[in-house]
Structure 1
Amino acid sequence: MWRRLNELRLSVAYRTHARFKKCIRRFLSMGYLPVAVVRQNFQQFCASRETQRLIRRYPELRDFVLYLQRNYFDGNFPPLMWNVYNRDSDTRTNNFVEGEYN
């Protein structure tokens, strides 16, 4: 996801604009929600006033949101694959090899 932010030239906004950073971090934290509510929260957050205001200010953010939706909600990587909600604290990563060495 960070690579996509860089490709869209949004990394400067992430570093300098606190609300933008909070918005991106909320998208990134979706993996810590119960799987049953991930899609609903994603849709509600995308439709929120704050997110829409940021999209108007940073039009590339819409491309980032569409990227997330296509790849991590409706595409090759469904929420069951990357969600870490029910994992214990020793394996709170989606990289199982990394979880073995923590």
Structure 2
Amino acid sequence: MSDLGHLTETYHSLHVAPLQSQHERVAWRLEAPRADRIRVREHTCPCRRITYEFCMAGGLAFVRRTYRHDGIAVHESDWLQTRETEQLWLRILLGQAR
């Protein structure tokens, strides 16, 4: 069995693919406190200026986008059924939506 420890030392998290020319524009809205607790199910690597999180709360799911520049700006996608948000999450990761 080979030693794979070096892979976990260099792996951060998921990176989004480059934006495709024919991509869907996501309607981002300012973050709003809609639930007491939010569960982050997946997230992209924090080494990038823009990060994304797949979040769940109150039986719904959404994608949170955080932009770090001269401060922090946090936006959310629409809160949808989990299946719909999973599809949006995949399109974001593949560069098919932003």
Using structure 1 for the length normalisation, give the TM-score: 0.27
Q: Which has the higher contact order (CA 8 A, sep 6+)?
A: 2
User: Which structure has greater strand proportion?
Assistant: 2
If the length of structure 2 is used for normalisation, what is the TM-score?
A: 0.27
